[in-house]
Amino acid sequence: MNDLLFIFLSFFALLGAFGMIVLHQPVHSALSLIVTLLALAGLFALLNASFLFAVQIIVYAGAILTLFIFIIMFLNVKESNLPKEPNKTLYLFLGGIVLIPLNLLVVRAFYAMPLLREPLAEDFGEIKPLGAELFTKWLLPFELISLLLLVALIGAVVFARKDEV
C-alpha cells in the first residue's frame, strides 16, 4: 500500500512541477506549485516525518504560496504584458534533451546508494534534532536563503511597478 501511495504522490509532485513550467498564467503556475508542495508533504508523511509534514503544509503550501499568489494578484499581470513565446514547445524539448545527462547522473547515484538495512532512528523527523542541525551546522545557508528570497521578492515588485509609473 505504501508503494502505491508513494507512486501516486510522486506522480502528482512531478505533474505539478511540470504544470508550473508549462502553464502560461502566473496564477496557474502558482496553483500548480501548491499541488507539488502538497504531494511533497504527503511524501514526508509516508516517511513518518510528522514535523516536516506539518511545516510543508503550514509554512510552504500555506503561508509562502499564499504570499506568492497575493503578490501575483497585486501586480495584476495582464495577458498583454506576458511575453510572447512562439517557440515554447521547441525550448521545452531542447531543455529536456539538455537535462538527460543530469537525469542519468541522478539515476546512477540512486542505484549506487546503499540499501537501508536498519530502521530509521526513533527521533527521525522530530523537531529537536532537526532544529539542532538547522541552527548549528546550516545556520548561515538558512539565513542566506531567507535573505535571497526577500531580495527576489522586493526586486519583482520593483520591476513590475517600474513599468506602470
pLDDT in tens, 46-99: 988 888 888 889 888 888 888 888 887 777 777 776 677 788 788 888 888 998
Q: What is the CA radius of gyration of the chain?
A: 19
Nearest Cα to Cα of residue 56 among 21, 20, 9, 24: 9
The helix, strand and coil proportions of the chain, stated in percent and rounded to the nearest 5, come to 80, 0, 20
Q: What's the whole-number average pLDDT of the chain?
A: 84
In a domain? residue 55: yes
Higher pLDDT, 72 or 15: 15
In a domain? residue 51: yes
pLDDT over 90, % of the chain: 27
The CA distance from 70 to 96, in Å, is 31
For 128, the grid coordinates are 529537536
The CA distance from 32 to 39, in Å, is 11
CATH number of the structural domain spanning residue 62: 1.20.120.1200
In a domain? residue 151: no
For the chain, the farthest-separated pair of C-alpha atoms sits apart, in whole angstroms, at 62
The CA distance from 54 to 61, in Å, is 10
Q: Please, are residues 9 and 25 in contact by the beta-carbon 8 Å criterion?
A: no
Residue 38 is predicted with a pLDDT of 93
For 13, the grid coordinates are 509532485
Asked whether residue 37 carries a pLDDT value surpassing 70, the answer given is yes
The boundaries of the domain holding residue 101 are: 2-134
Tell me the pTM: 0.64
In a domain? residue 23: yes
In a domain? residue 144: no
DSSP state of 81: G
Distances, alpha carbon 151 to alpha carbons 50, 62, 144, 155, in Å: 31, 21, 10, 6
**117: three-class secondary structure by DSSP:** coil
The domain total for the chain is 1
Asked whether residue 118 carries a pLDDT value surpassing 80, the answer given is no
In a domain? residue 164: no
Q: Could you report the per-residue pLDDT of 96-113, keeping only the tens digit for each?
A: 899 899 989 989 998 888
Residue 131 is predicted with a pLDDT of 84
The CA distance from 66 to 157, in Å, is 16
Residue 163 is predicted with a pLDDT of 61
In a domain? residue 49: yes
Tell me the pLDDT band of 158, cut-offs 50, 70 and 90: confident
In a domain? residue 147: no
